[in-house]
Structures are given as structure tokens and as C-alpha cells.
Amino acid sequence: MKLNLRNFQGKVLKKATIQSNDPNNPELIIKMEGTVQAIVDVKPSTNILFRGMADQLSESVLDLVGSTPFHISGNESNLSENIAYTLETVVEGEHYRLRVSNKISHGNYGGFIRLNTDLAQKPDIIIRVSGFIEGEISAKPQNILIGKLCAGQPERVGRVVVISNRNKPFEITRLTYDQDLMSVWQETLEDQTGFILEIQPKLESVPVGSRKQAALKIETDLSPDEKVEVLVNVLNHSGQPEAQNK
């Protein structure tokens, strides 16, 4: 039995069943278990998630401790516009600390921080970073599908709920969308501060059997510089029944 333990750490257990024609022992179970010690242990995790409003997010701190002496020789990231990070030396050649913080006021992102080391067995350490940052206004869902989805079904209309994340009163000042592809009506929410946007497809602008996509942009007086986007997919099913196998 062979195990691939690349990028794995912690306890591991693997079982295998061997069957034979031995009437006394027709089945044999073998087990392999142990603990894999990482060359560089990253705590609490190699994944960082920022979710929520920007001013309510805390800095993420990761500790990197080597089971053998090592040094970090360089670093890079594809998220320089979204995050800030610093690397500190706690114990030279043994323990380093990575501090990561969110930079943007709203929006989503995903990427990595790569730390280069002088270890042949572990030339780099990848830290995955994701952010789902809410602004003053939220629109949910952020992706909807409307139109004629299948034969024999009525057209689907979309509904988007727009609210203040701080529960402040606001007004929608502008809605920007493709008026050839959809119509949008606005209603006030009854149980909380906010609005419902009802989105009606215009299938005459979508060829039969195809799909079109457009963004609905929402602007409010609560955050004039912030545009919240909803991705609208409009589908016009062919209406032909699916072929059946005979």
C-alpha cells in the first residue's frame, strides 16, 4: 500500500481489504496510520477568509514554524490592490509571522500570497486569501436567472432584495441596466428598511435557444460612490421537447 502525503499534515489513517481464495482467511484488512509532521507548520490555517463590512474586519495573523531551520527569501501576491500584508521574524530561521488585512471597502476577491523558502523539500508556501466585503448596501442574490427556462413552464421573474447593512434609511437614486433585455420595478420592503426589485425578462431580445447576460447596477443616497451590481442571466428556451431514447 502506498500513500501520497504531499501537502498533508496531521493524523492519517488508511485501510485496505485484501480478498483471497484461502478458506480460512478469505479476507484480510490491513491498516496504515501515523502522524505527518509538516516541514513548515502554518497556524491556524493556510486559508484566510475576510467576510463582512470592511470596518468590522480584523487582521488575520498566521504563524509559520519550521520543523527544521529555514528562511523566507521572498514573497509575492496577486492581490496587492485588495489586501496588505507584512512578514515578521519571531525567531530567525525558525518562526515567522504573517499579518494580512483587507484594503477594499466593498467587493469580492480571491488569490494567494506566496512565500519563498530556502528548503528544497518546501520551496514555497501558498496562503490562499478570499474576501467577500460588504459595503453600506447589499443586494441579494447577486446572480439571478430569469426568462423561459424550460418547455411548458411560465416565464421566471427575478426578485432582488436591497438593504442597508447598518439598517439605515436610504433611497435608490439610480438603476442602470439593459432596457432591451429587462424591465425593473421597485417596491418598498414591509418588514425592514430596503427595497425589492422585480426583474421581468424581455424575451423578444433573446434569440430562441440562447442566453444573454447583463448587469443591473444599483446606486443609493446612502453611499453615492458605491455601485452594487447584480448579474442577470436571461434564458429563452427553445421550447422543443427533449428527444427520448427508444
Q: What is the pLDDT of residue 120?
A: 94
Evaluate if residue 246 carries a pLDDT over 50: no
The set of cell numbers assigned to 193 is 428598511
- Structural domain containing residue 152: 137-236
Evaluate if residue 241 carries a pLDDT over 70: no
Residue 26 covered by a domain = no
The pLDDT tens digits of the residues spanning 17-49 come to 888 888 888 888 888 888 777 899 999 999 999
> Rounded distance, CA 221 to CA 27, Å?
72
Evaluate if residue 240 carries a pLDDT over 70: no
In 3D space, the residue among 59, 24, 62 whose CA is nearest the CA of residue 41 turns out to be: 62
Residue 17 covered by a domain = no
Domain boundary among 116, 134, 152: 134
The pLDDT tens digits of the residues spanning 67-115 come to 999 999 999 999 999 999 999 999 999 999 999 999 999 999 999 999 9
> Rounded distance, CA 57 to CA 203, Å?
43
Q: Is 160 exposed, middle or buried (0-12, 13-18, 19+ CB in 10 A)?
A: buried
pLDDT band at 225 (very low <50, low <70, confident <90, very high): confident
Whether the Cβ atoms of residue 182 and residue 203 lie closer than 8 Å to each other:
no
End-to-end Cα separation, the chain, in angstroms: 46
Report the domain count for the chain: 2
Amino acid identity of 7? N
